[in-house]
Amino acid sequence: MKRIAFFSVAAALVLSGVGLYYGAPSLLKEPLLHLNRSLSGMEEKTTTAALHTIHYLDSGAPSQPAPTNPDTTPLVLLHGIFAEKDHWVDFARPLTSQYRVVAPDFPGFGESTRLDDQPYDYAAHTQRLGALLDALGIEKAHLAGNSMGGTIAALFALQHPDRVASVAFIGAPHGIRSPKPSTMDRLIDAGQRPLVAHDAAAFRAMMDLVFEKRPFLPYPILHATEQAALRNAPSNTRLWDAQLKDRYLLEQRLGGLQQHPVLALWGDSDRVFDRSGLLPLQKLLPQAQLEALPGVGHLPMMEAPADTAQRYARFLEGLAPSSALASQKIQ
């Protein structure tokens, strides 16, 4: 009887947990996010900059600073449109012991404030990045960005070259015309907004567009992501249209980035920006290190976080001053 009672209680607990997981997912979202951040050594913080309250993740001072980063220049990771800071957490995990890693929710996205009377075009984003770095006491950073975030990183480096140690496109940046039109290019040319989801079907189509191999997302987080996308669809339309005005902005200015070390990790199966965009990128930035990631879509930091982070770490190691490399070999 005791054994039957034990299994009955255990079954009840399991069923209760399953019911909570699927029946009240909002209660589990924050604990799950907190756990994943903790595994990567990152903590959520807030600051105020450029009229916005900005939420960001910060790993703090590294426990084992990289020998190739003697001045401990932080890594600042910038998400794409309608994305958010937690998309970087798995990617950051192998980096936080050697670097301070900061991943903000850009103003207008994620948990940071979105104001009806403020612009959210690239000029505004670039100015706000400077204000955020000032608020965090970061004089110089390695900037890495995905999609919109990569474009912001490049534009900021062009405006403030002394504040940027390197630029990395983790996934294709927005603003380069690919010789071969992508799936998203064709949808845009047909008058659609493929990254603005007004209903569940459109959300699923968006997920299929951005991912080649969709990562595991716990249901509470996936559910919250979908609900936020549907809830914000009207204002997301405004942000989408503002960015579409600058559809090929980056290729017009990218040549000025030739004095910076640049890495581009472009998903070989990217349906948002076709991989043929590597060709004009190579012409504009002959010094850049360019890599196509096999079997990866538009979000490599989520689809293949460990491999993508390893490639980025090797790029950073290659930037080390010769004195730091010599010291590392002696040790």
Phi, psi at 53, each rounded to 5°: -90, 120
How does the average pLDDT of the chain come out, rounded? 89
Going through the chain in order, the beta strands assigned E by DSSP cover 43-49, 52-58, 75-78, 101-104, 141-147, 164-173, 262-267, 289-293
Which residue type, as a one-letter code, is found at position 329?
K
Q: What is the DSSP letter of 288?
A: -
Other CB atoms within 10 A of residue 101 CB = 27
Q: What is the pLDDT of residue 237?
A: 96
Structural contact between residues 256 and 155, judged by C-beta atoms closer than 8 angstroms: no
Burial track 161-187 (b if 16+ CB lie within 10 A, e otherwise): eebbbbbbbbbbbbbbebeeebebbeb
Residues 313-328: tens digit of each pLDDT: 999 999 976 434 333 3
Tokens 């012409």 sit on residue:
283
Other CB atoms within 10 A of residue 45 CB = 14
Question: Distance (Å, rounded) from C-alpha 84 to C-alpha 217?
Answer: 14
Confidence of residue 284 (pLDDT cuts 50, 70, 90): very high
For the cut 90, the answer to whether the pLDDT of residue 331 exceeds it is no
Confidence of residue 192 (pLDDT cuts 50, 70, 90): very high
Q: 3-class DSSP state for residue 166?
A: strand
Q: What is the mean pLDDT of residues 164-174?
A: 97
Half-sphere exposure of 20 (CA within 13 A, CB side): 10
Confidence of residue 23 (pLDDT cuts 50, 70, 90): low
For the cut 50, the answer to whether the pLDDT of residue 147 exceeds it is yes
Confidence of residue 67 (pLDDT cuts 50, 70, 90): confident
Residues 78-113: tens digit of each pLDDT: 999 999 999 999 999 999 999 999 999 999 999 999
Task: Tell me how far CA of residue 270 lies from CA of 43, 89, 184, 249, in angstroms.
Answer: 31, 21, 10, 20
For the cut 50, the answer to whether the pLDDT of residue 330 exceeds it is no
Phi, psi at 76, each rounded to 5°: -115, 120
Q: Which two tokens stand for residue 281?
A: 């990128």
Confidence of residue 70 (pLDDT cuts 50, 70, 90): low
Residues 239-279: tens digit of each pLDDT: 999 888 889 999 999 999 999 999 999 999 999 999 999 99
Q: Which residues are within 8 A (CB) of 54 and not within 5 positions of it... i.e. 6 or more apart?
A: 46, 47, 48, 104, 105, 106, 107, 112, 113, 132, 135
- Choose the weakest-confidence range: 38-52, 64-78, 266-280: 64-78
Structural domains in the chain, CATH included, are 26-320 (3.40.50.1820)
Confidence of residue 219 (pLDDT cuts 50, 70, 90): very high
Q: What is the mean pLDDT of residues 8-33?
A: 58
Which residue type, as a one-letter code, is found at position 19?
G
For the cut 80, the answer to whether the pLDDT of residue 184 exceeds it is yes
Q: What is the mean pLDDT of residues 172-201?
A: 96
Dihedral angle over CA of 61, 94, 258, 172, nearest 10: -130
